[in-house]
Structure formats: structure tokens, C-alpha cells
Amino acid sequence: MTTEALMEKLKGIVKPYVKSEEGFKNMTENSDFLNDLKINSANLVDVILDIETEFDIIIDNDSMEKMLNVKAAMDIITTKLNEK
């Protein structure tokens, strides 16, 4: 999957939980889920569960620990997809 396609899918996943329209409009690889997109931390679990469903992967606790920004999420998804 291309980086652009992955980004589009991720945007669709985070959209329902985003509290900052501004942050979402300017979402890049450098965006932080909590500080920039203002996703509340309990909803970060929903983002992770939605990623698991969308990509049919399992995000283990070690990967989840790093899941604080778009770049980390994209790296983890790519790694898990390559392991399949």
C-alpha cells in the first residue's frame, strides 16, 4: 500500500474521534493523536481497535505503547502488513 493510500485510510479511521477540526485539516505524518488531533486517550483505544479491524492485523502491547502519532501508527501498520 502506498503512503498516500495508508494516510487516507488512517484519516477515515481517526475522523470520528478527532476533537480539533483544525488539526484534522492539517493532519500529516507528524501529527500527534492527543496534542494535535485532540483525540481523548480513551478513544485512542478505539483508533487502535479500528486499525486492527480495517487492516486485519493485531496490535500487540509493545506496538500500542508507541501509538501516539500518525507516523508511529503508519510504521506499525506497515510492519504488521509485511509480516502477514
Partner 1 sequence: MTGNDIVDITAAAVESNWKRTGFLEKIFTQIEQEYIDNAAAPTQMVWRLWTMKESAYKIYTRQFGGRFFAPQKLSCSLLNKNTGLVTINHISYQTITSTANDYIYTIAWPEACADFYSACFAIPGQHSTSQQQFIYEKLIAHYAGIQCADKNNFIVLKEKNNIPFLYCKKEKIKIPVSITHHGSYAAFTIN
Q: How many residues bind partner 1 (CB under 8 A)?
A: 20
- The residue range among 2-10, 21-29, 48-56, 74-82 that interacts with partner 1, by the rule CB under 8 A, is 48-56
Residue 15 in contact with partner 1, rule: CB under 8 A: no
Residue 79 in contact with partner 1, rule: CB under 8 A: no
Pick the binder of partner 1 from 44, 57, 74, 78 (CB under 8 A): 44
Pick the binder of partner 1 from 7, 48, 57, 74 (CB under 8 A): 48
Q: Are 18 and 35 in contact (CB under 8 A)?
A: no
82 vs 76: CA distance, rounded Å: 10
C-alpha cell at 2: 502506498
DSSP characters over 50-75: HHHHHHT----HHHHTTTTBHHHHHH
